[in-house]
Chains A and B, each alone.
Chain A
Amino acid sequence: MFICLIRDSLSASKPGVLETVARACSPRVEAHGDDVVVCDARGLTRVIGAPAVIAEEMRRMAWERGLGVRVAIAGSQTAAWLLAHVRPGATIVPSGDEARMLERLPLSALIILPAPPRPTMALPSSKPAPPSTQNDMQPLRTSKAGQSDLQSRDVAEALRICDRWGLVTLGDLARLPRADVLTRMGPVGVRLHQAACGEDATPMVPTGEAPRFVGRMELEWPVEGLEPLSFVLARLCDALSVTLARADRGAVTITTRLRLVTKAMHERTLTLPSPMREAKTLRTLILLDLEAHPAPAGIDVVEVECGVTPGRIAQGSLLAYTVPTPEDLSTLLARLQALVGDTRVGAPVIVDTHNPRVSSMKPFALKNLESAVAKASADKPLNQEPRTELRTEPRTLNAEPRTSIRRLRVPVPVRVRVERGRPVSVALSERITLSERTSVRESKDVTTAAGPWRTSGHWWTSDAQTWDRDEWDVALETGVIYRLARNRQTDAWELEGEID
């Protein structure tokens, strides 16, 4: 006897709740994402009661967790699955009555059949299966979805054939000889036929409960400040590190939950650039983050939880350039972020636009560094230092030596006097410092001006991204060279930066 539990369409999805409910009743549970769970109900009648009681109990438990569910209990997983999907509330199928209960269901119900398990050629391993977590499931789920798409195409095609044959209900399909269905629709047809008869194609494959990597400590006395907390974190991280190593897992996220004396929770989550489990690094990262985001009150419970993936396999090489270890890099980035802010650490990226003011940064990732170094290793002889070559514009025959601009990321308004369309003097509205030279409020004459260089774009919106500017490069009598910009809509001038 099997129970299928699915989230009612009126309830919002709540990850893990269905599985929790199922595991509370049965030790053998097969989870299909967050919204469908199948569990083995054999023996439950002795523990909980009649099937109807089991169904009601499960619905109640789910309801208490804020989730409306549909339940079907039948002699086969498939029958339970189909009935739970098409009938609201609780459906109990008397033993042996599966086919009869299914026969009136529309054929379209078969489109929701779960994907069959992936065939595998691997020999059974003597090692116990590694514990899986939510993160472990991620790649598997992707692969399953791909297969499911393929399968759903086959199922859809088979259902179209059924439609041509004038079959309307599962009963219509079930009444056809299975061998004939096989010769006409192949294995998919057989699977559908089995389903229409309420038979299972494969036995249930229970999934293990995902282990959590959590360390928790209740303190006798509240602690304040990072120093006492660091001792607590050291103990938790040491233990976690050992657990992670045993499970061959690396942490990719660290969530630190601090219960405060005010009964409030202070929670921080760090995303790590690559899986790691070194206790010292984990502790340092947590501390640096808490330094930047300190708890507002004393702490009496500390909990650290790691989100994990399989451990990192690193193969050293005599030929490749070494890169910082993920631990070093993460620590460095965390220190920098603590110093200048989260959003101001990363790698600059070229933005595909003519607008010179637009800039962008992406998070600095070890993966990028590794690939860049690998490329440099492949391209350059080993006895040469790696060299970064920048090339942005087409080379022209008499290209002048390049100048560089120190750009003000927030341009500064300036007053510019214009004669015959060209700027002749410039005065800053505020005192700024760009290089060693200090700019002052007094108006300075322009000795040379080049421009206008006109750019405009993003005309399809009227928001701040739209621009229409003329740029001028002007040399002032003081010897300084500025880049100015005039907004052609408002005629306002701004200082873009200084040219070295």
Chain B
Amino acid sequence: MYLELHTASAFSFLAGASLPETLVKRAADLGYPALALLDRDGVYGAPQCYRAAKAAGLKAIVGAELTIRTSHSALSTPHSAPSTPHSALSTVLPVLVSSQTGYQNLCRLITQAKRDAPKGESRLALEDLDGHTNGLIALVGRQALVAERHGVGGLVDKVVGIFGRQNVWMELQRHLRRDEEAANASLLDLSAAFRVPVLASNNVRFATVEERPVYDVLTCLRYKTTLKEAGRRLSANAESYLKPPAMMERMFSDIPQALAGTESLAERLDFTLANLGYQFPDYPVPAGETQASFLRRITMVGARDRYHPLDTAFDGRAKAQIQRELDLIDRLNLAGYFLIVWDLVNFCRQQGILVQGRGSAANSAVCYSLGITAVDPVGMELLFERFLSEERGEWPDIDLDLPSGDRRERVIQYVYQRYGALGAAMTANVISYRGRSAAREVGKVLSMEEDEIDRLAKMMSRFEFVDPDEAVTKHLKEAGLDTGREVYGQFAKLWTQMQDLPRHLGQHSGGMVICKGRLDDVVPLEPASMPGRVVVQWDKDDCADLGIVKVDLLGLGMMAVLEESVALTGVDLAHLPPDDPEVYAMLQAADTVGIFQVESRAQMATLPRLKPKNFYDIVVEVALIRPGPIVGQMVHPYLKRRRGDEPVTYAHPSLEPVLKRTLGVPLFQEQLLRMAMVIAGFSGGEAEELRRAMGFKRSAKRMRDIEGRLRTGMARNGITGVTADQIVLSISSFALYGFPESHAASFALIVYASAYLKAHYPAAFYTALLNNQPMGFYGPATLVKDAQRRGVRFAPVDVQVSDWRCTIQDDGAIRLGLMYVQGLRAEVGRKMTSGVFLAPRDAKKTPDVIFGGRFATMDDLVARTGVRRDELRVLAEAGALASLGGDRRSALWQAERAARPAGPLLTDTELTSGTQQKDVECLFLQSPGSEKDTRRLFAASPLRQMTLTERVGADYAATGLTIGPHPMALVRRALAARGVLRASDLPSGRPGRRVRVAGAVITRQRPGTAKGFVFLSLEDETGIANAILTPDVFASHKRTVVDAPYLLIEGLLQNQDGAVSVKAERIEALADTGPRPVSHDFH
């Protein structure tokens, strides 16, 4: 039977139009027994193909199309046309893997090809293959005929020489193209001449005929052209789809040996990704110890430190739990993995890098004992099976939170150094076409106007929420486009088809895989954009599915903030006072701007209602505002029960021990597992399997199976009907989006620490926050205003005293760093800060010194730092040159002169010309002397000073923030005349009253769980006001809401237990209010 041995997926990046799953599904529908995926220069799609094929009962054959460098231009077919500018000098050689050795060779070859080529390209010489072809089958097709440098049949001769006659097949293709027949005849002759067999294939590029337009669009993107201009670069017809076997057999009925060749080759290809040959590295242990025994010893040492005394801690439960975990780790042979993570954590501690394990690892007492996590799972009664179970047979998942930036990079480099450049790599992150990117690309390819594309891109991915009734055409109508035009019909269709197609490979933020031996035997490696980094061709899920162990080294901005705050204050985070009243007062008042996790609008709206009083309340708060509890409709019942408005009940009495702590409402994933164990008799492993099945939304069958088992188990315990349905709903809601309790607890620790610092050391906390931007929910401008409302004082950027980063002055004020001057190069900024600080006393010795700052004059600044004119302008505009004397305009006036050294000739000319003021200036330039003279120099500026409004505008333009008045304060009088309230006035207002509020829009949200409601945060000089827009109100004011930086909203005041908001009825844009603030949208 015919089977397809040459299929390319969208992971060929612009040379294929279907996802591997789609191809496999189509193959399964057509009755194919196997499918070979040969993507260009990679095995990017192989795991997905393998997974889908396994589920569909197909064999997933592995292969790749290798770009081979030749030195003569090769004529290319549209399908095989290479995508790079260098492609004219290259040809394509498809290879198939027949054994594990072959797979290893393929991975090494691709790694070499990527290593030796510029980013995004790939290059191998045919000679590079020599000696690395064992287990690989080469397919020689039409491309070989046009590689003319090798002479008639020369390339075939070379390939046969390198691969061996038994490993070369002549590939015949028929796409109903006239020119293919002559090539096929030549290939048949060559096969006879070289005595190599022939096979038939269809060089599939998309699953069905309907995907041909998308393929053409991708072709245009590859060639950077439009459909109108692409001409013969586009496919000649739509025949490169996955055809039914019978059709292929009919097409090749005149060459039966080709069909037989396909079949016989397929029989030889018995390698699949099931046997990758991956091994986790061993941890070196002292002589006489095994990894398990060594782990046991050090765990017990750590446990004795964590639990005092260990034998009796929690009635001996701690020790028992540790023993149980160690036994399981021993049985699963995972000791090495724990030791390696322990080693990483130790490295961080030794380097003074803040580190904390998060995720389900916090359920493990062993991790707690080893210092990997900070949450006591025994004390908090966390479920170990969520982390590790015998049934699952998977590697555990330990994520480490590290300070983002350089510190995390040091840990990553440590891993490379420890396991070798080819033994460790980052996991990939596949960037896919989504709303905005797809709209841009499709618009370009359809030759739409630039502004039209902008409008479409803006509209197509404005918000996360997608109304089921919202067709693409509705979006287009809202953008004011004539949907009757044919081009928009095509746009809508292509845009929809482009969704989720891979665009390019990125680097995952922190996932690292390590391997015993060479990782490039397991998966091809590519150099990343960042120097010193390599990336595997698979993302973290693919790695996990194929049993490759990963350690997530996640950069967490707040960890960096904590670390910096600790350095500034000397606070010991490990010994913070528990239950600090100021922290809880702050949380209850939702005064949480800048605090980890609980600063979002939704969290702020919940905090006054939850009123956290202890650490566990913070854990609940962190877990509560997640899609899981929201979709599962758990939030309101929990809050009502907490307030006593609703009795605490349980779906079944047996669930009381499980749900008691959360008042009968499931909030954590562990509770979901325990529920399944209690009511349906599931084991820990089965319960985890249930969670995963529910979370894996694409596997409907798997979900149905496990749900059936759950219901059967519940029925055995007498739970049926509505109760059973309710339990199933809560379980399915949590599966994907709920937090594990351990993870929430780990995060809650950071919440508490950050809140404590904000409450007691605000200057240090805000300094650290400003130094680690971008992070969190709010921009620096909002953070500065929030800090000022808390009494923190700020000093402006100043070239004479500012550091590159923000610092705390002796008087307690935060001095803004030069890093906030937009457009100032870091090297110039650092040169400024490295300048010797010239003390006033030195002035007597050095004639240039005037103020005792770093620079005597602006000319001195320019001469010593090489600052550019544009940078000098921004510095002047930001007021950073003020301490050289004069106001911002004077500085701007001088900056233009200082940045254009006129030379002595012109200086002399100035001396003898112009006005009296100018004479003063030039005189000074000749012999700069005293501070007074310099001030005169600035005073000589003929420009008028900036007004307050101008200064605020200049602040935003130059630094993105202001330490002066909020822009809304400048228009407050006019707004007050219109009855507009301030944000701080709202809490005291009567609920239900119609109010007006105005401010700079700092967040726009349309969460997927909010059924089309939109939430806006408006900032004014007194704080943040929240507004809620119903879908109708949003629809009628969409353009204003999306585009206007300042809004005036009129509506009804709402106050739910202290959570204040305005339910919008009318919205208007406030024109010319001030500079455009940074808004965080679409969260």
Residues of A participating in the B interface, judged by any CB pair closer than 8 Å = 161, 164-167, 175-180, 182-186, 351-354, 393-394, 396-400, 452-457, 459-462, 470-471
Contacts and interface: CB of A to CB of B under 8 A. Distances in A.
A461 B877 contact: no
Given A353-B232, A459-B216, A460-B490, 8 more contacts: A177-B914, A177-B942, A179-B910, A180-B921, A184-B893, A393-B179, A398-B185, A471-B178
A179 B913 contact: yes
Interface stretch (B86-94, B233-241, B648-656, B763-771): B233-241
Contact of A453 (B178, B906, B915, B917): B178
B943 A165 contact: yes
Interface of B: 75, 145-146, 152-153, 175-179, 182-183, 185-186, 189-190, 212-213, 216, 227, 231-232, 234, 236-239, 446, 486-487, 490, 873, 877, 889, 892-893, 896-897, 900, 902, 906, 909-910, 913-915, 917-918, 921, 942-944, 946, 950
B868 to A, nearest CB: 14
Contacts of B234: 354, 457
Contacts of B183: 396
B213 A179 contact: no
A365 B885 CA distance: 70
Interface centre among A182, A396, A399 (most CB of B within 10 A): A396
A352 B186 contact: no
A493 B209 CA distance: 23
A184 B891 CA distance: 12
A453 B942 CA distance: 80
Nearest to B892: A164
B486 A462 contact: yes
Contacts of A176: 942
B889 A183 contact: no
Contacts of A393: 179
Most B C-beta atoms less than 10 A away, residue of A186, A454, A471: A454
Residue among A453, A462, A471 with max Cβ neighbours from chain B (10 Å): A453
A489 to B, nearest CB: 13
A161 to B, nearest CB: 6
A175 B232 CA distance: 63
A494 B220 CA distance: 32
B914 A397 contact: no
A422 to B, nearest CB: 12
B321 to A, nearest CB: 64
Which 9 pairs across A and B sit closest by C-beta, in order of nearness?
Answer: A352-B231, A184-B896, A454-B176, A397-B186, A179-B914, A354-B236, A177-B914, A453-B178, A454-B237
A370 to B, nearest CB: 28
A165 B889 contact: yes
Nearest to B490: A460
Nearest to B146: A394
Contacts of A398: 182, 185-186, 189
A164 B874 CA distance: 10
B145 A177 contact: no
A496 to B, nearest CB: 13
Contact of A461 (B145, B212, B486, B902): B486
A398 to B, nearest CB: 6
B873 A164 contact: yes
A452 to B, nearest CB: 6
B900 A166 contact: no
A459 B75 contact: no
B237 A396 contact: no
A183 B906 contact: yes
A462 B216 CA distance: 17
Contacts of B186: 396-398
A453 B185 contact: no
Contact of B917 (A177, A351, A461): A177
Contacts of B145: 394, 396-397
Given A166-B946, A179-B913, A452 B176 contact: yes
B225 to A, nearest CB: 10
A455 B179 CA distance: 12
Contacts of B902: 183
Nearest to A165: B943
Contact of A177 (B216, B232, B918, B950): B918
B75 A394 contact: yes
Given A161-B896, A397-B153, A179 B943 contact: no
Nearest to B946: A166
A175 B185 CA distance: 85
Contacts of B943: 165-167
Contact of A179 (B216, B900, B918): B918
21 contacts: A164-B892, A166-B889, A166-B946, A167-B943, A177-B917, A177-B918, A180-B910, A180-B914, A180-B942, A183-B902, A183-B906, A184-B893, A184-B896, A184-B897, A352-B232, A354-B232, A396-B183, A397-B145, A452-B176, A455-B237, A459-B212
A179 B182 contact: no
A397 B184 CA distance: 10
Contacts of A353: 231-232
Interface centre among A353, A394, A471 (most CB of B within 10 A): A394
A182 B909 CA distance: 11
A260 B775 CA distance: 82
A453 B896 contact: no
Contacts of A461: 486
Contacts of B182: 396, 398-400
Nearest to B183: A396
A180 B189 contact: no
Contacts of A457: 234, 236-237
Contacts of B213: 459-460
Given A164-B892, A175-B942, A397-B152, A183 B897 contact: yes
Nearest to A399: B182
A471 B892 CA distance: 73
Given A164-B877, A397-B190, A454 B232 contact: no
A161 B873 CA distance: 9
A397 B943 CA distance: 81
B238 A183 contact: no
B51 to A, nearest CB: 33
Most buried by A among B487, B877, B918, B950: B918
Given A176-B942, A396-B186, A453 B176 contact: yes
Contacts of B189: 397-398
A473 to B, nearest CB: 9
B176 A180 contact: no
A359 to B, nearest CB: 14
A453 B177 contact: yes
Contacts of A167: 943
A457 B897 CA distance: 62
A161 B897 CA distance: 12
Contacts of B942: 175-177, 180
Contacts of B216: 459
Contacts of B178: 453, 471
Contacts of B175: 454
A171 B1036 CA distance: 46
B246 to A, nearest CB: 14
B146 to A, nearest CB: 5
B630 to A, nearest CB: 42
A394 B913 CA distance: 76
Contacts of B950: 166
A184 B153 CA distance: 70
B915 A177 contact: yes
A21 B893 CA distance: 46
A333 to B, nearest CB: 29
Contacts of B237: 354, 454-457
